[in-house]
Amino acid sequence: MNARTTITIDEDLLDELKRRAAAEHTTVSALIEEDVRFAELRRSQAATREVPRFTLPTFDLGEPKPGVDLTNNAALLELLENEE
């Protein structure tokens, strides 16, 4: 079933659609309907697509050196500077 509706569209875009319709031997309405169907299909596929979970790589560097307080930024900075 087809329904009629009125849309507001940029004049430059309408001119482009008219040229495309003439080149493809179809109507502006058919192009708009095809493009809207394609956009809706992409939206529905994106909504149902499962987003892969991102995991950060981890490295086992062993236990901290004795006497290192990981909650003391100043002490950690001093320790790193002294190792250089």
pLDDT of residue 13: 95
> Please, which pLDDT band fits residue 66 given cuts at 50, 70 and 90?
confident
User: pLDDT for 5-57, tens place per residue?
Assistant: 899 999 999 999 999 999 999 999 999 999 999 999 988 888 777 777 888 88
Query: What is the model's pTM?
Result: 0.53
* Domains of the chain, residue spans: 11-48
DSSP labels for 14-73? HHHHHHHHHHTTS-HHHHHHHHHHHHHHHHHHHHHSPPPPP--------SPPTT--TT-H
Q: How far apart are CA 25 and CA 5, in angstroms?
A: 22
User: pLDDT for 68-79, tens place per residue?
Assistant: 788 888 888 888
